[in-house]
A = this chain, B = another copy of it.
Amino acid sequence: MVQNVHHHIFPNGLTLLAERMAHVRSAALNFLVPAGCVYDPPDQRGMASVLSDLITRGAGERDSRELTLALDNLGLDRDESVGTLHMRFWGATLATNLPAALEIYADILRRPHLPAGELDAVRALALQDIQGLEDEPRQKVLIELRRRHYPAPLGLDHRGTPEGLHKLTPASIRAHHGRHFQPWGSILAVAGNIEWEPLKQQVARLFGDWPAGPEPALKLVKPIGGKAHLHKDTEQTQIAIAYPSVPFGHPDYYAAQGAVNVLSGGMSARLFTEVREKRGLCYAVWASHQTFKDRASVICYAGTTNKRAQETLDVTLAELCRLLEGIEPEEVERVQAGLKSSLIMREESTSARAGALASDWYYLGRVRSLDEIQAAIDGLTPRRIVAHLRKMPPRDFTIVTLGPRALRVREVKTSANGVKAV
| Contact surface of A with B, Cβ cutoff 8 Å | 1, 23-26, 56-57, 64-65, 68-69, 71-78, 92-94, 97, 120-125, 128-129, 131-132, 134-138, 234-236, 265-269, 273, 276-283, 303-305, 330, 333-334, 337-342, 344-345, 347-350
Contact = CB atoms under 8 A, between A and B. Distances in A.
A395 to B, nearest CB: 28
A245 to B, nearest CB: 23
A416 B51 CA distance: 44
The 5 closest A-B pairs by CB, nearest first: A75-B341, A121-B280, A124-B280, A23-B23, A72-B266
Contact of A128 (B26, B73, B277, B283): B283
A268 B342 contact: no
A76 B124 contact: no
A92 B344 CA distance: 11
A75 B338 contact: yes
A77 B1 CA distance: 21
Contacts of A23: 23
Contacts of A137: 135
A90 B26 CA distance: 25
A25 B350 contact: no
A267 B68 contact: yes
A349 B349 contact: yes
A281 B349 CA distance: 35
Given A279-B121, A280-B125, A235 B341 contact: no
Contact of A349 (B97, B136, B348): B348
Contacts of A340: 75, 94
Contact of A345 (B77, B268, B347): B77
Given A97-B341, A124-B281, 12 more contacts: A68-B268, A72-B269, A72-B337, A74-B337, A75-B340, A77-B338, A121-B278, A128-B305, A132-B236, A135-B138, A348-B350, A349-B349
B69 A268 contact: yes
Interface centre among A135, A136, A276 (most CB of B within 10 A): A135
Contacts of A349: 348-349
B268 A72 contact: yes
Contacts of A125: 276, 280, 282-283
Contacts of A129: 283
Given A65-B268, A268-B69, A344-B25, A132 B75 contact: no
Contacts of A277: 57, 64, 68, 121
B236 A26 contact: no
Contacts of A344: 25-26, 94
B338 A72 contact: yes
Contacts of A122: 280
Contacts of A268: 65, 68-69, 71-72
